Chains A and B, each alone.
Chain A
C-alpha cells in the first residue's frame, strides 16, 4: 500500500476521541506501517472541540492531513462533523454517531443546532454509516466505552486481524474496564456493514 491512508476523528472533549486515535495509531504501527498522529484540542479540558488526525502508510511525512485528503471520518458528534468537511476527499467513508452535544451558544438559546445532519450529509456522501455507539456501549455495560465500540465499527473497514485491535485496546484500557471495552469492540464490529 503505497498511498497514505488518512483518518480524521472529531468530537468533543471527554468523549474519548484522543484515546480512540491512539489505539488506531498503535494498531497501524503493529501492522507494520509508518504512522503519524496529531491532534488539535481547545484550551479547556471540557466542552471544547477535539480533532485528531491519524495517517499511515509506507512513509508518512506530515503529521496533519491536508485539506481534501481525509479518506475516513469517524465523527463522535454530529455538529462537529460539519466543521471538518474541508478535510474530506470527494468520496470519503463517514462513520457517524447519533450523539448531539449542544455547544453553549445553543444551550443558552443564541444559536440553533443544525437539523437533520445525517440526511444532509448522505446526499453528498453516499458512503455514510450511522453507528449507534451509545446504545452499543450501554448494552456492552458502560456508556463510556462508546469510543471502543466505534473502533469496532471502524475495524471492519480494514482487513487486519481482530486480535491486533484487541491487543492494542488492552494496552490502553485499564484492566478493570477491559472486559466491557472488548465486548463493546466486538459488538461495534458486528453491527458495522461496510
Chain B
C-alpha cells in the first residue's frame, strides 16, 4: 500500500502480502514475527507501519514461531509469517503447538513459491496442515487474503488451534482491489493462568492431548462443510472444477461458464460438499498446483476425478494451462523467438563486496560449500565459485562432512561460505559442532550488514530492529571466539591481496577458523559511502585478455575498436570498487584522475 493512502480511504489496491498485514491489523493483532523470505517479506514490512502492533524480525523462523506462540497462549492475537521452507525450520514448535492449542489466536502464514522464483525447492506446504493436524485457509485474491486472516483468528480461538494461511508468490505479489475496514476492538485477556496438562507436553499429558487434536480435526471437518467460502457454483454441468487459491482464477478465466467448487479451506476438506459436487457434474477436474493434495484425499473418498494425470506436478499454473490441458489444445504460441535471444540473468550489483571473494575462491580452486543469499549468484558463469547450496545454514555442516571424510587431506581444499544473517539464523550451532567435534574447517562469513537478497532487512548483526530502533549488534569476532574458534580474522574484501593471503593461510590450518569478510552491501540504506573515483580502461594498455570479464561486473563491457576487442567501463554503472583494477594483469585499469594526469 502506498504510504500516502490513509485509513479513511475505503478501497485500495493491495498486494496479497499487504492485504494479509491489513487483515491482521484490522483483527487487532498484538504481536507479529517472522524471518525475511521471498515471497513473505512484505507482510511484516507493512505491519510495522502500525505503531500499536509489536513486530520483529526474529533470528530464524523457529524463534519467530515461538515468540508468536508465547503471545498467543497468553491471550493475545499473534501472527507469524515465513516462506515455505521457513516452515521446515519452525516445524518443531509448530507440531507441539498443535497439541497444546492456544488461548489467543495464532495465525501462521506460509508463503509457498511454485515455480521457485526465489527458492531452492517448491514444496507444497498444504501437506503441513494435514501432517500437523492444523486447519489451513487459502485466499484467491487480496480481498480474501485480508478477510481470511480475520477469519483465521476467529477459527483459531473458536477451535483452540493454530491456523495456517497459505499464500503463493503469485498471490503475495499480485495486487487487487480491497475494501478497507476499521480495526476491530478485539477484546482479549492477558493471562498467565497455569494449565500444565495443556501446555506441558510431558508424555503423560501429550497422551491426553492427542485424542483432543483428532477430535478437533473432526469438528473442523464439519465446519468445512458449512463454511460458505467453500463455494459451490453450479453452471454448465458437463464438467466441474475443484480448485483453490489463485488457480481458481486461472480456471475461471478459461472456463467462466462451467461449474466450480472453490475450496477456501484447503484442510480439512468439506467431504459432503465434494460428494454433492461430484454428483451434480458429469466429470470432475481437480486443478491444483504442485502436489495432488486434494486429488488423493478426494480419490480416497471413492470419487473419480481427473488431476495430475493431465495437469503438471511441477511449476506454476496459468490460465493457459487450464485451457490447454482440459480442452486438449496445443500450447498457445505467438511468434516468439525468445529461445534465440540473449538471456538477461540476475547478477550481483556493480561494487558488490562478494565479487572479490568469489574471484579469489575460484582462483584458489577451492571447493566452496555455499549457503542461501545474494551470494548464491556466485554459482553462475563465469564466476562459478559456489559448489553447493542446500538450505539456510547448511554450508558449515557440509564442509565439516567433507573434512571428516577426507581427514587431513581436506586441508586447503574446501571452505564454507555464509552470509551474515544466514550465519546468525542457523550457522552458529554448526560452528559449535565443529569446535566440539574437533573439526578444522574454515568458515567465511560474508558480512554485508544486511539481508540483501530479500530487500535489505535488518537482523541481529546490524544494530537496528525492524522498526528501525537502535539495538545491540552482534560482534562476530567475540561470538566466534566464545564458541571456541581460536582463529578469527576480519578482512576487507576489496583488499584482494590481503584477502587471498588470509584465505590461503586459514584454509590450510588444521584448526577451526572463521574469516569475517566485512563490507556493506552497495545498496545499503544506512551506510554513508565516501565517494571513490570511478575506474577507466586505457585503450593502449588493454590487451583484450578478458580477465576483468570473469568478474561479470555489469559495468564492464566488451567493445570492438580498431585494435580488436577491448574492455570498457560504463560510467553510469561503475561504483569505483577497484576490483577490476586489482585483477587486471596489464595495469590498464586505473582511476579516471590517474588517466587524466
A62 to B118 CA separation, bound complex (whole angstroms)? 22
Q: Does A193 belong to the interface (CB within 8 Å)? A: no
A102 surroundings in chain B (CB, below 8 A): 557
- Given known pairs A29-B11, A47-B346, the reply for A62 and B250 (CB within 8 Å) is yes
Output the least CB separation between B120 and chain A (Å).
Answer: 12
Question: B174: which of A63, A66, A104 is its contact (CB, 8 Å)?
Answer: A63
Asked if A83 and B338 sit within 8 Å, CB to CB, the answer is: yes
A82 to B173 CA separation, bound complex (whole angstroms)? 24
A42 surroundings in chain B (CB, below 8 A): 344-346
- Given known pairs A62-B249, A103-B342, the reply for A39 and B2 (CB within 8 Å) is no
A44 surroundings in chain B (CB, below 8 A): 346-349, 374, 377
User: 12 A-B contacts, Cβ less than 8 Å apart?
Assistant: A29-B11, A38-B173, A44-B349, A48-B344, A62-B253, A63-B249, A67-B320, A79-B341, A83-B338, A108-B552, A109-B549, A109-B565
Q: Considering the complex, which residues of chain A in the window 89-146 have a beta carbon less than 8 Å from any beta carbon of chain B?
A: 102-109, 111-114, 124
A46 surroundings in chain B (CB, below 8 A): 347, 349, 554
Q: Does B491 belong to the interface (CB within 8 Å)? A: no
Q: From A22, A44, A68, A124, name the one whose CB has the most chain B CB atoms within 10 angstroms.
A: A44
Q: Does A177 belong to the interface (CB within 8 Å)? A: no
Asked if A49 and B344 sit within 8 Å, CB to CB, the answer is: yes
Output the least CB separation between B374 and chain A (Å).
Answer: 7
Q: Considering the complex, which residues of chain A in the window 52-66 have a beta carbon less than 8 Å from any beta carbon of chain B?
A: 60-64, 66
Output the least CB separation between B207 and chain A (Å).
Answer: 47
Asked if B347 and A63 sit within 8 Å, CB to CB, the answer is: no
A187 surroundings in chain B (CB, below 8 A): none
Q: Does B131 belong to the interface (CB within 8 Å)? A: no
A165 to B581 CA separation, bound complex (whole angstroms)? 47
Asked if A62 and B319 sit within 8 Å, CB to CB, the answer is: yes
Q: Does A190 belong to the interface (CB within 8 Å)? A: no
A29 to B178 CA separation, bound complex (whole angstroms)? 11
A79 to B346 CA separation, bound complex (whole angstroms)? 16
Output the least CB separation between B229 and chain A (Å).
Answer: 17
Asked if A104 and B341 sit within 8 Å, CB to CB, the answer is: no
A137 to B478 CA separation, bound complex (whole angstroms)? 51
Which bucket holds chain A's interface residue count? 35 or more
- Given known pairs A36-B175, A61-B252, the reply for A45 and B523 (CB within 8 Å) is yes
Binding site for A on B (CB under 8 A): 2, 4-5, 11, 13, 117-118, 141, 170, 173-177, 246, 249-250, 252-254, 256, 318-320, 323, 332-338, 341-349, 374, 377, 382, 453, 455, 523, 549, 552, 554, 556-558, 565
Question: B343: which of A38, A66, A105 is its contact (CB, 8 Å)?
Answer: A105
Residue in A closest to B324 when the chains form the complex, CB atoms = A67
A189 surroundings in chain B (CB, below 8 A): none
B348 surroundings in chain A (CB, below 8 A): 44
A125 to B308 CA separation, bound complex (whole angstroms)? 39
Q: From A22, A38, A79, A107, name the one whose CB has the most chain B CB atoms within 10 angstroms.
A: A107
Asked if A68 and B118 sit within 8 Å, CB to CB, the answer is: no
Output the least CB separation between B74 and chain A (Å).
Answer: 38
Q: Does A157 belong to the interface (CB within 8 Å)? A: no
Cβ contacts A144-168/B at 8 Å (1 or 0 each): 0000000000000000000000000
A105 surroundings in chain B (CB, below 8 A): 342-343
- Given known pairs A44-B377, A45-B349, A82-B341, the reply for A34 and B177 (CB within 8 Å) is yes
Asked if A26 and B318 sit within 8 Å, CB to CB, the answer is: no
Q: Does A12 belong to the interface (CB within 8 Å)? A: yes
A47 to B335 CA separation, bound complex (whole angstroms)? 25
A47 to B374 CA separation, bound complex (whole angstroms)? 14
B342 surroundings in chain A (CB, below 8 A): 79, 103, 105-106, 111-113
Q: From B117, B170, B246, B344, name the one whose CB has the most chain A CB atoms within 10 angstroms.
A: B344
A62 to B316 CA separation, bound complex (whole angstroms)? 13
Q: Does A9 belong to the interface (CB within 8 Å)? A: no
B349 surroundings in chain A (CB, below 8 A): 44-47
Cross-chain pair count, CB within 8 angstroms: 160
Q: Does A31 belong to the interface (CB within 8 Å)? A: no
Asked if B249 and A67 sit within 8 Å, CB to CB, the answer is: no
Output the least CB separation between A36 and chain B (Å).
Answer: 5
Question: B13: which of A12, A35, A79, A109 is its contact (CB, 8 Å)?
Answer: A35
- Given known pairs A42-B346, A48-B345, A62-B319, the reply for A86 and B338 (CB within 8 Å) is yes
Q: Does A25 belong to the interface (CB within 8 Å)? A: yes
- Given known pairs A44-B374, A103-B342, the reply for A87 and B13 (CB within 8 Å) is no
Question: B332: which of A62, A68, A83, A171 is its contact (CB, 8 Å)?
Answer: A68
Asked if B176 and A36 sit within 8 Å, CB to CB, the answer is: yes
Output the least CB separation between B245 and chain A (Å).
Answer: 11
- Given A44-B374, A103-B343, A107-B557, 11 new contacts (CB under 8 A): A45-B349, A46-B554, A48-B346, A61-B256, A63-B174, A66-B319, A67-B334, A80-B344, A83-B336, A108-B549, A171-B2
A99 to B256 CA separation, bound complex (whole angstroms)? 40
Question: B558: which of A34, A40, A67, A108 is its contact (CB, 8 Å)?
Answer: A108
Question: A107: which of B177, B341, B346, B558 is its contact (CB, 8 Å)?
Answer: B558
Output the least CB separation between A112 and chain B (Å).
Answer: 7
A17 surroundings in chain B (CB, below 8 A): none
- Given known pairs A29-B11, A37-B174, A63-B174, the reply for A86 and B319 (CB within 8 Å) is no
Asked if B334 and A68 sit within 8 Å, CB to CB, the answer is: yes
B337 surroundings in chain A (CB, below 8 A): 82, 85
A29 surroundings in chain B (CB, below 8 A): 11, 13, 177
- Given known pairs A34-B177, A37-B174, A106-B342, the reply for A47 and B554 (CB within 8 Å) is yes
- Given known pairs A45-B455, A171-B4, the reply for A63 and B176 (CB within 8 Å) is yes
A36 to B246 CA separation, bound complex (whole angstroms)? 12
- Given known pairs A45-B523, A66-B319, the reply for A85 and B336 (CB within 8 Å) is yes
Residue in A closest to B4 when the chains form the complex, CB atoms = A171
Output the least CB separation between A103 and chain B (Å).
Answer: 4
Asked if B318 and A64 sit within 8 Å, CB to CB, the answer is: yes
Output the least CB separation between A107 and chain B (Å).
Answer: 4
B252 surroundings in chain A (CB, below 8 A): 61-62
Residue in A closest to B376 when the chains form the complex, CB atoms = A43
Asked if A43 and B246 sit within 8 Å, CB to CB, the answer is: no
A87 surroundings in chain B (CB, below 8 A): 334
Question: B334: which of A35, A63, A88, A113 is its contact (CB, 8 Å)?
Answer: A88
Asked if B170 and A38 sit within 8 Å, CB to CB, the answer is: yes
